[in-house]
Chains A and B, each alone.
Chain A
Amino acid sequence: MHSNGLFLKDVAGFLGFYYTALALMNAVAALILWQKKKQTGWAIAWSVFASVMMVLAGLALSGSKSLVPSLPLAARSLVNTLSGPMLYTLGTTALFTILFVFRKFFVQPMVAWTVFNAALVLMGLSMADENFAAIVMKPDNVPIVGLVFLLAFFTWVATKQAVVNDERIARGLPPMEKLDDEKVLVWPDLVYTELICMVAVSAFLLVWAIFLPAPLEEPASSVKTPNPSKAPWYFLGLQEMLVYFDPWYAGVVLPSLVVFGLMAMPYLDFNKKGNGYYSIEERKFSYLVYQFGFFELWITLIILGTFLRGPNWNFYGPFEYWTPYKVEVLNNVDLPQMFWVNLLDRPLPRAPQGAGTLAQIGYILLREAPGIALVGAYLLLLPPLLAVTFFRGFFAKMGFIRYMIMANLMLLMLSLPLKMILRWTLNLKYLVSIPEFSLNF
């Protein structure tokens, strides 16, 4: 089911408005650059860009297949074929790494503006694809699009200040926040800001509510299960984890650990620097851990779970039709199978007929010995090992209990990406699989 004429007619009005808004935004930017910043070169560049956007708006309003600006079909199917959970995860990780390493380059206003416009144009071009639009324009998915742009914007705001502060600190100067040390009265300086914020948020919410009706599907029916069945969008990162772990871990233990870990954070971070101002260099470790958890393990998984998981929780490319008939090969193997059968060429250890409970448990433990040894080594041996190597300084400053809590939280957090890698490379399903006690890991 690829773009037909009717769909383009429906979306034409939106796209025309979208490109016009882009043009206006860039025209204003050009005006500011020319009048206030005296950067005539950039002003001309963005005026030209704004005119191109006006042309795109006109083309989009035509609503005809040959004119509406869109990505070439070949490019779309290439993206669909290439994309999958592995490429998506590695790709986003690479993207975040590049943005972080070259942050001094990306925070420059004109670079950031270029990236922002490129993202918006790509978004507009993609919206001309029926399958893409069907998922992104679902009313409950719209907030996620907003979240992505808001996060990008605020990360830019923060990183820009952190880069400046880090440079100042390196030169022995106090952070920028220290410069405005003078006190002002809350009335009028703060209360007016708050009032303006309230008016702006109210206006924004009213416009949103008028233009986007809240979803209401058919009346509830406990016999008609929709495919896919999805939790509310903010829990879709957790639902995505179910691909790699059983519900007891992905749905109960890991979320509890996230909450516990967040609460424990101020007591584990012993670094006294970077309190009350934007900085990255002064607290690189905690910064990277938080960003990894927030962006890679929370936000990108939500986006994956919302936009790229279709019927039967199969992966679908961004421009792919969500056919319920897509079949994915499931050839995942448990570790005991790999160890006993594939490696040692023996049957799985099994208790003889009529064995007592203890003997049965003994056989289960023997069967699962390789997995238990691996998980045990990971959780029990790695922390002390790290304490005398990589985390030597941390251990000395934190003391035994705090260090052990931090090390275990970090290792459990990393259990998710590690399990992903094991799945992609070895088709591993479970490290430990004891269905007798509903205990699979």
Chain B
Amino acid sequence: MAIGETIRNSQIWKSIFRHPMPLDRRNRIVVMLTNFFLHLHPVSIKKQGIALSFTWCMGGVTFFLFLVETVTGVLLMFYYRPTLEWAYNDILALRDVTSLGILRELHRWGAHAMVITTWLHMYRVFLTGSYKPPREFNWVIGVILLLLTLLLSFTGYLLPWDQLAIWAITVGSNMARATPILGYEGPGQQLLTIGGIDMITDASDARFGLLGARFVGEETLNRFYVLHCIAIPLAVALLLAIHFWRVRKDGGISGPL
């Protein structure tokens, strides 16, 4: 115990943790206020608000899975090059050559799990009527986060560049071809004709914008890679911050009035 005591009394320790161990009531309150990672939480909370039968912990698990995806995703980026020449081979090497060969498994199954936990979190929020005032707008942010989660998963699906990947993305993105007015096979695309020249063609429609090409090719791989690794995660991180902040500002975890 003496060593522990010495460490906890050292200048270094005290500069990091600005309070004693959270062993008594006062310090358990102080720790919530002074620790960056804990300050998202309130100091005290209604007992029913932390009952697992009430919350299912699904929002928290979704956030945790987002962190898992970020960490495993960054590690995967060390091994993966998003080009036609290397994408598939890098995934092969990741499976057959690299040590800790379950990195891709962790990332893929974590992604599937994140989609499921997002649905379950929404389901719980609906069933407890927690989207009702004053939490309406946070529900709206949640719906956008759901959409971004699906897009994250969808863009990531292409990256292994195998048959499963390109055909799933082909089938999925073919829908954009039929966007009303903006897709070249969509209803009303004839409306955007200027001086007899068709503005909406297979090289200018919504699907082209998504794929960066007329079909799923190298441009698509690059586009989806950037969306998957940078653009969407940044948007998610921002919205997550707002989502959590609003949970606190809208009165914390919901409960009967």
Contacts and interface: CB of A to CB of B under 8 A. Distances in A.
A90 B172 CA distance: 27
In this complex, which of A287, A437, A438 has the most chain B Cβ atoms within 10 angstroms of its Cβ? A438
B18 interface: no
Contacts of B25: 185
Contact of B127 (A162, A193, A246): A162
Contacts of A238: 175
A384 interface: no
B43 A217 contact: no
Contact of B180 (A214, A248, A272): A248
A128 B127 CA distance: 37
Contacts of A209: 102, 105-106, 109
Contact of B143 (A182, A239, A259): A259
B124 A158 contact: yes
A389 interface: no
A424 B124 CA distance: 35
A103 to B, nearest CB: 13
Contacts of A230: 167-168, 171
A79 interface: no
A176 B53 CA distance: 12
Contacts of B113: 143, 201, 205
A277 B128 contact: yes
A207 to B, nearest CB: 10
B134 to A, nearest CB: 10
A345 interface: no
Interface string B90-111: 0110010000001011101110
A438 B186 contact: yes
Interface residues of B, number: 99
A218 B56 CA distance: 40
A269 B38 CA distance: 34
Interface stretch (A65-73, A147-155, A314-322): A147-155
Interface string B127-139: 1111111011001
Nearest to A250: B175
A180 B47 contact: yes
Contact of B120 (A150, A210, A220, A438): A150
B190 A437 contact: yes
Interface string B210-233: 000001110000000000000000
B47 A183 contact: yes
A252 B256 contact: no
A246 B178 CA distance: 8
A276 interface: yes
B187 A437 contact: yes
Given A185-B44, A222-B166, A234-B150, 4 more contacts: A186-B38, A194-B57, A220-B88, A229-B168
B95 A272 contact: no
Nearest to B22: A187
Contact of A234 (B42, B50, B153): B153
Interface stretch (B9-17, B156-164, B235-243): B156-164
Nearest to B25: A185
B199 interface: no
B162 A150 contact: no
Interface string A268-308: 01011111111100010001001000100000000000000
Contacts of A222: 166, 215-217
Contacts of B115: 143, 234
Interface residues of A, number: 93
Ranked 5 nearest A-B pairs via Cβ? A251-B175, A209-B105, A247-B178, A266-B136, A439-B187
A126 B15 CA distance: 61
B124 A154 contact: yes
A208 B147 contact: no
Contact of B128 (A143, A219, A253, A278): A278
A248 B183 contact: yes
Contacts of A179: 48
B139 A219 contact: no
B113 to A, nearest CB: 7
A174 interface: yes
A106 to B, nearest CB: 16
Nearest to A188: B28
Contact of A275 (B46, B130, B177): B130
B256 A178 contact: yes
A87 interface: no
Nearest to B216: A222
Given A197-B64, A259-B143, A157 B186 contact: no
A248 B143 contact: no
A183 B45 contact: yes
Contacts of A202: 68
Nearest to B61: A201
Nearest to A215: B164
A331 interface: no
Interface string A146-170: 1100110010011001100000000
Nearest to B191: A437
B188 A437 contact: yes
Nearest to A165: B256
Contacts of B29: 185
Contacts of B46: 180-184
A365 B42 CA distance: 62
B52 A193 contact: yes
In this complex, which of B64, B126, B139, B257 has the most chain A Cβ atoms within 10 angstroms of its Cβ? B126
Interface string B188-218: 1110000000000000000000000001110
Given A143-B116, A259-B147, A239 B171 contact: yes
B68 A205 contact: yes
27 contacts: A150-B120, A161-B53, A162-B127, A174-B256, A177-B48, A181-B46, A181-B47, A183-B46, A184-B50, A185-B28, A186-B44, A190-B50, A193-B52, A197-B57, A206-B106, A208-B105, A212-B109, A214-B104, A222-B166, A230-B168, A232-B153, A235-B150, A248-B178, A262-B143, A262-B146, A274-B132, A439-B188
